[in-house]
Structure 1
Amino acid sequence: MAHWFNTAGPCVPSDHYMIPASARLPEVSGLVAQKGYFVVHAPRQTGKTTTLVALAQELTAGGWYAALMTSCEPGRAWGDDVGAATRAILARIRDRANVDLPPELRPPPWPEAPDGGLLARALQTWSQACPRPVVLFLDEIDALEGRTLVSVLGQLRAGAGDRPAHFPASVALCGLRDLRDYKTAAGGNANRLGGPSPFNIIVESLRLGNFTLDEVRDLYGQHTADTGQMFTPEAVELAFELTGGQPWLVNALANEIVRKMAVPASAAVTADHVEEAKKRLIQARATHLDSLVDKLYDPRVRAIIEPMIAGLAPATRPNPDDLQYVRDLGLLAPDAPVRPANPIYNEVIVRVLTENVFDYVAEVPGPRAHVLPDGRMDFATATSPAGRAITLLRG
């Protein structure tokens, strides 16, 4: 499911507007039935965690599996200390199981084992004791790097041959990255996916996409059914156009209009309201947008984003893995040509990259400085670095 209106505290008037989880990742149930090990990747705040939690609940409620969504985030702090990181991850698995699973499906006490075999021994013990096949969604797998990531993936690969009686029947690695970038993070060669690699058990890589226009209509329509407040067709279409269906942005626009701008329920939400909400979000640069800004300082990201925004070809051809990495972060549209993921991100990126441009420009041209007396464009000044930056800022 994907909740909305929940970007800044309790929802008004309801926090139960949603898209069914099975509609967002319809392939998961089939992969689980096939005992598949697979990757689910998506940019942050696209509803990935919420969707996978709901899928785990649905699988368990169906009576066939003991399915659990857990996080590898506790292992981050321990770096290359494989034993400490693994114990932190296992503690989180137990905590989540105690909350999300009935007593008969919860794991028994974890057995002792050498640091490099802790995870495999624990999952083997749970799978043998559980009356149903175990299904495990490992969220925030990106939190692990180096030796710890290699160890976790290696143990999953080593145990996979014993599934489902002696090891989880199905495992999903969930995070920002696609399969190739996990190899890079683990210190491996992204071009070699065969051999004894811990990655050769992965049968599929799924990307959780943005909302479609129909899904945005559905979500906003649920608000209408609940409150009577209409979103005009033009408002819904503009919201989709500005956000590209990015779930956090779709939610944030609605939240801004209904809660912060306090458009009364008796008034229809119009395209003008959506446009105003967009401006307010960009100016406020909410947490989600700030997290994107942080990524712009990554050299891999900047080398692709800066020439794109300036309308120039990159100085060198980007590494395909770097391009895919920036797409996986959600900054770029997932398909060709290379372009910002949506108009809101585009404006935020431009503002950030041109933030201090005037500190280095002696004379700032006026609004029509690039227009000749006869009305033609003066391309010599308009295409200078300062001219491009100023045009981007104003346009």
Structure 2
Amino acid sequence: MKKKFNITGLCVKDKHYMVDISDKIEQIVTMVDEGEYFTINRPRQFGKTTTLNVLREALSEKYAVIDSSFEGVGDNLFDTEEGFCKRVFKTFADSIRFTDKETHQLLLKYNTSKNFGELSDAITEFVLESRKKIVLLIDEVDKSSNNRIFLQFLGVLRNKYLSASANKDFTFQSVILAGVHDVRTLKLAMRDESDKRFNSPWNIAAKFEVDMSFNAHEIGSMLLDYQSETGIGFDVNAIAEQIHMFTSGYPYLVSDICKTVDEKLGAVWTEESIYMAVKAILNEKNTLFEDVIKNIENNEDIKSVTNELLLSGSHISFHPFSYEAGIMYGIFRNDKGKVVIHNKIFEELIYGYMTEKSNIRKLQVRISENELNQFTKADDLDMERILLKFQDFMYEEYRSEDEKFYESQGRLIFLAYLKPILNGKGFYFVEPQTRENRRLDVVVIYNKHKYIVELKLWNGEKYHEKGREQLARYLHIQNIDIGYLLVFNFNKSKEKSSDWVTVEDKKLFEVIL
């Protein structure tokens, strides 16, 4: 059976093309060997379940691995302490009945506890009788992490870990919890309800610092597997770099691009096909994209930072105690000490959502009613004309606005202006450069041609010259001879203007509005 790229559920080596994550697994196995308890907390569809499955296989020779989940067991498991303690070993046993019959039977033998004290003793006896050391994996802990009974169970595991470290008890070799939230941050009243002192039931957990995103080399390992099986020739390294550029290694997005190229774009692996795949994905509705938008709308801090990054082009320094929610949900990431939107696909998703949500949508309707073919010639974009028409539009509609307006809305209005012009035949993505001087480059792909438009706020003649030089250097990197500079000038004494200039042998069409 031919393997496929998989974007739903567990990836299986014999059925799906998979990234080689052996380096990541080796790092996790080392943590298990050292007896660490930890949480693998990563965003939705970030490969946690697949990683746990590969990890279980890697650990199975040396350890007895209980690979379990409380998802789907029913809420009544957590109704009472007695009900939980009576059933938890049975739940663990059911998860391994086809993979480890010996441990399965041993778990059932000790499934007799009525309270957490008895459950603690049962864990001790179970561990002592087992021929191998026990590793406990629990996936989807978010389903239970707000439940007091589950948090008390974690408290039992914590206490046993501490006692075993002092040679006063025996317990699991390692416990691994997987979910979106970091269970270390949860709080539980460790005494009676009248005592308001709280503590974390999982404060013994080690930091999990394994990078679960895919780098270009790892993406290339999956493409090499595909190439080997299909015999289709292409530049694996170049395509892997291109996929990484758009996804920053987000596992679901990596697989979705590959699946789209393979199944919907005729398995033609070129730079253009990656662009087309990204465009197709952005036109889809999926649970990952829904989660991104939902988490932005439901969290004012995330929304505020997103607006600063995408609308204002702000440079925001990363701090470990800030932006935790946005990083936890996979919307932000730490890029060399800066907070950035996790990947280009998310950026374009959010820009599109902002445009649709705001009154700027009316602008798109207005443009679509015009003769859009005025912006193309010989099936290529007439970017010079687009910018001049945009300049006229902004002068007519927004000339009285101030710097604050341009900073918060100018970029979004331009992107909204572009959308109906491209009209399914092309697309754009935003390429934030250094964020220096609030620069933002829009890369437009249309009919196999690439157009670079730099957007920036006017900040004086000195910085304007510097902006020209920066654009020229970027054009050199992209191997493009012509670029475009769109400057929002909030100085009311400044007249709108446009001109062609040459900088470092690159031609720039410059529009100031």
Q: Indicate the structure (1 or 2) with the bigger Cα radius of gyration.
A: 2
Q: Give the C-alpha shift of residue 226 in structure 1.
A: 0.4
1:250-261 correspondence runs (5 A): 250-261=254-265
Structure 2, unpaired ranges of 5+: 191-197, 368-385, 419-441, 443-513
Higher mean C-alpha displacement, 29-38 vs 273-282? 29-38
Aligned to 1:191: none
Q: 1:21 to 1:364 in 2, by over 3 A?
A: closer
Q: Output the CA distance in 2 between the equivalents of 1:385 and 1:298.
A: 21
Q: 1:313 to 1:272 in 2, by over 3 A?
A: closer
1:149-164 correspondence runs (5 A): 149-160=150-161, 161-162=163-164
Q: 1:301 to 1:359 in 2, by over 3 A?
A: same
Structure 1, unpaired ranges of 5+: 189-194
Q: Output the CA distance in 1 between the equivalents of 2:293 and 2:219.
A: 25
Task: Name the amino acid aligned to 1:391.
Answer: F
Secondary structure of the residue aligned to 2:282 is helix
Aligned to 2:131: 131
1:1-395 correspondence runs (5 A): 5-7=5-7, 15-60=15-60, 62=61, 64-74=62-72, 77=75, 81-83=79-81, 84=83, 90-104=89-103, 106=105, 107-117=107-117, 120-143=120-143, 144-160=145-161, 161-162=163-164, 166-178=170-182, 180-183=184-187, 186=188, 197-232=200-235, 233-263=237-267, 268-299=268-299, 300-311=301-312, 321=321, 323-335=323-335, 336-358=337-359, 368=387, 371=391, 380=402, 383=406, 385-393=408-416, 394=418
Q: Give the C-alpha shift of residue 85 in structure 1.
A: 5.7
**2:64 touches 2:103 (CA, 8 Å); kept in 1?**
no
Deviations 1:268-290 (A, max 9, x none): 41011111010000101333322
Task: Name the amino acid aligned to 1:279.
Answer: K
TM-score by length of 2: 0.63
Higher mean C-alpha displacement, 172-181 vs 76-85? 76-85
Q: Output the CA distance in 2 between the equivalents of 1:187 and 1:4.
A: 48
Deviations 1:122-166 (A, max 9, x none): 533432331111111122222221523431221111222247973
Q: Output the CA distance in 2 between the equivalents of 1:387 and 1:227.
A: 47
Q: 1:9 to 1:38 in 2, by over 3 A?
A: closer
Task: Name the amino acid aligned to 2:304.
Answer: A
Which structure would you say has the larger RCO, counting Cα contacts within 8 Å and 6 or more residues apart? 1
Q: 1:277 to 1:362 in 2, by over 3 A?
A: closer
**1:72 touches 1:140 (CA, 8 Å); kept in 2?**
yes
Task: Name the amino acid aligned to 2:357.
Answer: N
Q: Give the C-alpha shift of residue 389 in structure 1.
A: 3.1
**1:239 touches 1:250 (CA, 8 Å); kept in 2?**
yes
Task: Name the amino acid aligned to 1:109.
Answer: K
Task: Name the amino acid aligned to 1:217.
Answer: G
Task: Name the amino acid aligned to 2:171.
Answer: F
Q: 1:271 to 1:168 in 2, by over 3 A?
A: same
Q: Output the CA distance in 1 between the equivalents of 2:348 and 2:85.
A: 41
Q: 1:360 to 1:177 in 2, by over 3 A?
A: same
Q: Output the CA distance in 1 between the equivalents of 2:71 and 2:200.
A: 23
Q: 1:322 to 1:177 in 2, by over 3 A?
A: farther
Between Structure 1 and Structure 2, which shows a larger proportion of strand residues?
Answer: 2
RMSD over aligned Cα, in angstroms?
3.9
Deviations 1:337-361 (A, max 9, x none): 1111110011112222332212786
Q: How many residues are aligned here? A: 375
Secondary structure of the residue aligned to 1:26 is helix
Q: 1:271 to 1:205 in 2, by over 3 A?
A: same
**2:186 touches 2:201 (CA, 8 Å); kept in 1?**
no
Q: Output the CA distance in 1 between the equivalents of 2:318 and 2:415.
A: 23
Deviations 1:52-107 (A, max 9, x none): 222122211x2x31012212334784597353566665443121121222435652
Aligned to 1:192: none
Q: Output the CA distance in 1 between the equivalents of 2:17 and 2:223.
A: 8
Q: Give the C-alpha shift of residue 116 in structure 1.
A: 4.2
Task: Name the amino acid aligned to 2:155.
Answer: G
Q: 1:359 to 1:389 in 2, by over 3 A?
A: closer
**1:310 touches 1:389 (CA, 8 Å); kept in 2?**
yes
